[in-house]
Amino acid sequence: MFSIIDVETTGGSFRQAKITEIAILLHDGNKITDRFETLINPGMAIPWFITRLTGIDDSMVKNAPKFHEVAKMIVELTENRILVAHNSKFDYGFLQHEYHALGYKFLRNTFCTCTVSRKLFPGLHSYGLENLSRHFNIENKSRHRAAGDAEATSVLLEKIIEVSGLESVNSYLIPWNRNNKLPASITPDELHSLPHTAGVYFFKDESGKIIYAGKAVNLNRRVLSHFSNTRTGKVSKTAAHAHSFSYEVTGSELIALLRETEVIKSEMPILNRAQKNTNAPIGIFKSLHNGYLHLETGSVFAGNMEEPVLQFSKSAQALRTLEKMAQEFELCASLCHLEEEKSSGCFGYQIKQCRGACAGKENAGVYNKRVERALNAFAFSMKDLLIIDDGRTPDEKSAVLIRNGKYEGYGFFNPEFSKSVYEIIDCIKPHTFYPESLSIIHSFIKKKKVKVIELQQEASLKLL
More confident residue, 367 or 456: 367
79-112 pLDDT per residue, tens: 889 999 999 989 998 998 898 888 887 888 899 9
422 and 370, same domain (yes or no): no
The answer for residues whose C-beta is within 8 angstroms of residue 287's C-beta and 6 or more apart is 293, 294, 296, 306
Query: Can you point out the beta strands (E) in 115-155?
Result: none
Domain boundary among 119, 147, 172: 172
Whether residue 104 contacts residue 93, with contact meaning beta carbons closer than 8 Å, is answered with no
167 and 220, same domain (yes or no): no
Q: Is the pLDDT of residue 64 over 90?
A: yes
393 and 370, same domain (yes or no): no
The pLDDT score that the predictor gives to residue 146 is: 93
Taking CB atoms within 8 Å and a gap of at least 24, the contacts of 421-427 are 421/386, 421/453, 421/455, 421/459, 421/460, 421/461, 421/462, 421/464, 422/460, 422/461, 424/386, 424/388, 424/399, 424/464, 425/386, 425/399, 425/401, 427/399
Select from 162, 276, 158, 256 the least CA-distant residue to 214. 256
216 and 235, same domain (yes or no): yes
More confident residue, 193 or 42: 42
Whether residue 262 contacts residue 432, with contact meaning beta carbons closer than 8 Å, is answered with yes
Is 317 inside a domain boundary? Answer: yes
365 and 401, same domain (yes or no): no
Distance from the Cα of residue 417 to its chain's centroid: 30
Question: Rounded to whole angstroms, how far apart are CA atoms 464 and 458?
Answer: 13
| Burial tier of 346 (Cβ tally within 10 Å: 0-12, 13-18, 19+) | buried
262 and 163, same domain (yes or no): no
Cα torsion 113, 114, 120, 122 to 10°: value is 160
Question: Rounded to whole angstroms, how far apart are CA atoms 376 and 307?
Answer: 16
More confident residue, 236 or 244: 244
291 and 433, same domain (yes or no): no
Please write down the HEC assignment for all residues of 236-278. Answer: HHHHHHCCEEEEEECCCHHHHHHHHHHHHHHHCCCCCCCCCCC
348 and 391, same domain (yes or no): no
Question: Rounded to whole angstroms, how far apart are CA atoms 298 and 270?
Answer: 29
47 and 87, same domain (yes or no): yes
Whether residue 22 contacts residue 40, with contact meaning beta carbons closer than 8 Å, is answered with yes
| Burial tier of 370 (Cβ tally within 10 Å: 0-12, 13-18, 19+) | middle
Is 98 inside a domain boundary? Answer: yes
- Torsion 433-436-442-443 (CA) sign: negative
Domain boundary among 267, 295, 328: 267
Q: Which of 28-32, 188-192, 284-288 has the lowest mean pLDDT?
A: 188-192
Tell me which residue range forms the domain holding 150.
2-172
Is 180 inside a domain boundary? Answer: no
Q: Is the pLDDT of residue 26 over 50?
A: yes
Is 183 inside a domain boundary? Answer: no
Average the pLDDT over 410-414 and give the result.
95
Is 223 inside a domain boundary? Answer: yes
Model-level pTM? 0.54
β-pair partners for 21: 8, 39
167 and 55, same domain (yes or no): yes
304-353 pLDDT per residue, tens: 556 777 777 678 888 988 998 898 898 999 999 998 877 778 888 888 88
User: Residue 202 maps to which CATH number?
Assistant: 3.40.1440.10
Q: Is the pLDDT of residue 457 over 50?
A: no
At 33 the three-state DSSP class reads strand
pLDDT band at residue 143, thresholds of 50, 70 and 90?
confident
How crowded is the C-beta side of 403, counted as CA atoms within 13 Å?
8
Residue 375: CB atoms within 10 Å: 22
Is 205 inside a domain boundary? Answer: yes
125 and 223, same domain (yes or no): no
- Torsion 107-108-114-117 (CA) sign: positive
At 365 the three-state DSSP class reads helix
Is 181 inside a domain boundary? Answer: no
Domain boundary among 148, 172, 196: 172
User: Residue 14 maps to which CATH number?
Assistant: 3.30.420.10
Question: Rounded to whole angstroms, how far apart are CA atoms 233 and 195?
Answer: 26
% of the chain surpassing 70 pLDDT:
89
Total domains in the fold of the chain: 4
Whether residue 458 contacts residue 419, with contact meaning beta carbons closer than 8 Å, is answered with no
Q: Is the pLDDT of residue 231 over 60?
A: no
Is 298 inside a domain boundary? Answer: yes
Q: Which amino acid is at 375?
A: L
339 and 450, same domain (yes or no): no
Query: Can you point out the beta strands (E) in 123-275?
Result: 199-204, 210-216, 244-249
The answer for residues whose C-beta is within 8 angstroms of residue 397's C-beta and 6 or more apart is 388, 389, 390, 391, 412, 413, 414, 415
357-406 pLDDT per residue, tens: 888 889 999 999 999 888 877 766 557 889 999 999 999 999 999 887 77
